[in-house]
Copies of this chain bind each other. A is one copy, B any other.
Amino acid sequence: MARRKEYKEEEVIEKAMELFWRNGYESTSVRMLEKAMGINQFSMYSSFGSKQGVFLESIKCYEGKIQGIIEKLRNSTNGIEGIKTFFYDSIKTSSDCNNPKGCLITNTSNEFAESGDKAITEQIVRFTTVIKEIFIEKLREGDIKDEELLIKQANYLLIAKQGLSVAAKVFGQKELNDYIEITFRDF
């Protein structure tokens, strides 16, 4: 017995995500969001509660967007090679132009590192933990490994992946390829 929404939340949030991805949280204003999403502030706030609400939903949307390559990593059966492919897939996502560069999760982790925002930090930690566990799982498929070396290597790869995402915003394709090649040269 009432009027229907003229937009779908899943659709407008995608536009929001791209904006946050490109500019970060603070540099994206609610006015910019309403233009990009094609809805006005009232609708935004009634659908997502707050700017932070839009942002958290954007992160979920992003996770959905990259779920494909994460599943690919998870289902890979060639150990360390699967992780290497994951690295290449990651920068490929952001190199189809018109897409922002870098990784939204990593960008966010950086922007909020010192702020200590709880809801956002939690999202990031959760995501990072998932990736690390997959790395460990894949590394376990490899040759002789004592547990300690395994953790060491997982930490290395996790930070390397994070570094890659950051580097992708600034460095060129050749530099990134050089980086990945040497990262995996001795596994």
Contact = CB atoms under 8 A, between A and B. Distances in A.
A142 interface: no
Which bracket fits the contact residues of A? Answer: 35 or more
A178 interface: yes
B156 A167 contact: no
Interface stretch (A8-16, A44-52, A53-61, A179-187): A179-187
Contacts of A182: 152-153, 156
A160 interface: yes
Interface of A: 22-24, 26-27, 100-102, 106-107, 109-111, 113-115, 151-153, 155-156, 158-160, 162-164, 166-167, 169-171, 174-176, 178-179, 181-183, 185-186
A176 B166 CA distance: 17
Q: Which of A23, A107, A163, A169 has the most CB of B within 10 A?
A: A163
Contacts of A109: 170
A171 B186 CA distance: 24
A111 B151 CA distance: 31
Contact of A100 (B27, B101, B114, B153): B114
Contact of A185 (B163, B167, B186): B186
A28 to B, nearest CB: 11
A159 B163 contact: yes
B26 A26 contact: yes
B160 A179 contact: yes
Nearest to A100: B114
Contact of A26 (B27, B153, B169): B27
